[in-house]
Amino acid sequence: MIQNTFKKELKELSRDGRVRISFLLVILLMAVATWISKNQYSATNEQYKEAETAERHIWEGQGEKNPHSAAHYGTYAFKPKYPLSLIDHGVDKFTGTSIFLEAHKRNEAQFSKAADQTGLARFGDLTPDFVLLFILPLLIVFLGYNAFTKEREMGTLVLLKSQGTSVWKLILGKWLAIFAPVFISLFLLFVVAGIVLSNLKDFGIFSWESLGVLFLVYIGYYIIFINLVLFISSKVKKSGISLVLSLSAWILACLAVPKAASNIAESQYPYPTRQEFAASINKDQKNGIDGHDPWNKQAKLLENKVLKEHNVDSLEQLPFNFDAYRMQKGEEHTAEIYFKHYNHLKTQFEQQSSLYRNLAVLSPFLPARFMSMAIANTDYATHWDFADAAEIYRVELQAFLNGNFAENSTYGEWSYRADESTWKNMPAFEYDPPELSETLGRNTSNLVVLMVWILVSFSLLFFTTKKL
């Protein structure tokens, strides 16, 4: 019975011109979106390599210079583009691509793609994740909204029941008929994407394992929609009503609930404005040591402490340049202030994310979206990780430069110039995204919620439709 129902449903779907056109449109959209993303991915990585190489060449070619001048001259940390971002662009469009690393200041990522786009960007970009998250569930609605209502309307359901047909076998046959084309389409897409990504050299480490997990996340997402659409079709009598209810479920799950969740999270745990954030940092800096002001209260306390520790009477008698030492202590104090305030931003982000995860019980879109971005390394958590790595490198860079200044000059010797080879001794900035195991660990709750949605939707479909 299952096999017969499966074959019969597939024949009907293949004969329906609307279904054929819908599938062709979705495949065309996916092909175009993948082609566009592949070109963008390749172009972005080529620009990344060029910028990284050029900036390192500029840094190493400074010539003889005072190390503290080099600290103010600064350098850049560039955020790499990861292979699976071809499938899910995530928040990369909004977070910026590079961070300027300079003395005394922690900067935010700059040059986001969204900042350079026109007002037409508000209509959205054609990307694979847009098709996967929004269009394919809509296709599932059109494939399954009349799976049972058409049997009622044509009177065949009564005939099947009179022949003793098992309800669960009928449901399973129809379920497989919708699942099979969706599964095959998604499988082919991911295989093609994997082949393309695995053949792009020097553009990040591609992992078939991560691609496989991402594939399973989307399969789980589509299973939920198949179950919900078939459940609605089994409970109503008219195809028109089933279509309206199924479309309403899609609108709620993919559009209304995510937007409402975003607004609720922002209202509950708001970020400070840029002005408030800068004012808080300036206030804390005034209460601490100023590396450039020898008459600063904290600087004088540090001076007395160092003189006492080395048992000398003047700064000239110290075995190092106290000016550079003081500037390094000022850097350390500034770094602590930035860590404190950026940690507050991260806490707000984590609280917003926690609220998002709690609201994910209202829509399967949310856990699927978060899992997809996390696996593709295009979520906010990965961006925070990159920004923190850049800040750690900035602090190490300042310590390296001020240390060179302190060790190789005497107090008041501002004319000191470091040798040209000095700049090569500081390793270039490198960043590796979190491993897949760490990513899955961070998103355990999203994975659990997605699994709960799958189990609940299966239960609704198979255990509440014993009688059609």
pTM, entire model: 0.85
Query: Rounded to whole angstroms, how far apart are CA atoms 141 and 26?
Result: 13
Mean pLDDT over residues 453-462, rounded? 90
The answer to which of 60-69, 78-87, 112-121, 366-375 has the lowest mean pLDDT is: 112-121
Classify residue 388 as left (phi > 0), alpha (psi -120 to 50) or beta.
alpha
Q: In sequence order, what are the beta bridge partners of 102?
A: 105
Neighbours of 191 (CB within 10 A): 12
Which has the higher per-residue pLDDT, 138 or 466?
138
Q: Which residue in the block uniquely carries the two structure tokens 């699976």?
A: 84
Mean pLDDT over residues 81-94, rounded? 84
Neighbours of 356 (CB within 10 A): 20
Where residue 253 falls among pLDDT bands split at 50, 70, 90? very high
Residues 6+ apart with CB under 8 A from 440: 213, 447
Cβ atoms of 90 and 373 within 8 Å: the answer is yes
Distances (CA, A) of 280 to 260, 296, 330: 30, 20, 17
393: tokens are 């490198």
Q: Which residue in the block uniquely carries the two structure tokens 């300027």?
A: 100
Q: Mean pLDDT in the chain?
A: 84
The pLDDT of residue 196: 81
Query: Rounded to whole angstroms, how far apart are CA atoms 380 and 177?
Result: 38
What confidence tens digit (pLDDT) does each residue in 297-341 have? 787 888 888 888 888 887 887 888 888 888 888 888 888 889 988
Chain-centroid distance of CA 266 in Å reads: 18
The pLDDT of residue 115: 55
The pLDDT of residue 216: 95
191: tokens are 């295989």
Mean pLDDT over residues 37-52, rounded? 81
Most distant CA pair in the chain: distance in Å? 106
Mean pLDDT over residues 347-375, rounded? 89
Residue 102: φ, ψ to 5°: -140, 170
Is 90 exceeded by the pLDDT of residue 219?
A: yes
What confidence tens digit (pLDDT) does each residue in 97-148 have? 889 998 888 888 887 665 555 555 555 567 888 889 999 999 999 888 888 8
The answer to which of 110-114, 170-174, 464-468 has the lowest mean pLDDT is: 464-468
